[in-house]
Amino acid sequence: MPPKFDPSAVAILVVRCTGGEAPAGAALAPRLGPLGVPAKKVGEDIAKATKHLKGLKCTVQLTIQNRNAEVAILPSASTLLLVELKEPPRDRKKVKGVVHNGNLTLDQVKKVARELRSKSMAKHFSGTVLGVLGTAASGGCTVENESPRAIQQKIKDGDIKIEAYDAEARWVIDLSFSLSLLLSFSFSLFLFLEREREGKGERERET
């Protein structure tokens, strides 16, 4: 038999969902059931935590311990840019092929870049801004009524100066998240190896 589940152990789950909506129970239950957490309650908590992102795709991290789940939103450039565009909510089941053709200011782009700085691998803050501009170009919006690609080129040419932002890069302050994922993987591997050992012991006894 597999080892008894330890409810005090910390488990990390990452879930992709739509803001303001509870993920399907069929998607959550197989992952939360073995941890002793009710999928319905977690779904309601996710919907409540992401209500300000209504209708937008977002990623949440579930930290589970003692059969309780804490919900944290993992920011992404595309979601944050859509929030800055302030587009009206759409029914994603009825409205397809939406083009996000709004206009952003450079300050809004910098604001998004600051929120993402801790995840960025860029050496300088300007590199993070360039990455956000690339996402804006893919989404179809403009920046200062110009193409985001044109703004990128102006930054590279030095025509637009991006001030330094005092925040450490991902490899420094995102270490805790990486360790959490490693801990979750190690726990899953431990359970798998224990099941294999128990199964091997039962087969040897039968023979």
Two tokens, residue 120: 């960025």
pTM listed for this prediction = 0.65
Strand partners, 61: 14, 72
Mean pLDDT of all residues in 130-143 = 89
SS3 187: helix
For residues 74 and 119, the answer to whether their CB atoms sit within 8 Å is no
Two tokens, residue 4: 């008894």
- Beta strand 57-65 with 103-104: parallel, antiparallel or unpaired? unpaired
What is the reported pLDDT for 25?
76
- CA 54 – CA 204 distance, rounded (Å): 55
Give the range among 17-26, 69-78, 178-187 with minimum mean pLDDT. Answer: 178-187
For residues 83 and 53, the answer to whether their CB atoms sit within 8 Å is yes
Burial of 120 (0-12, 13-18, 19+ CB in 10 A): buried
Residue type, 169: A
For 173-204, how does the pLDDT look when each residue is reduced to its tens digit (9 = 90+)?
Answer: 455 566 666 777 777 777 777 777 777 767 77
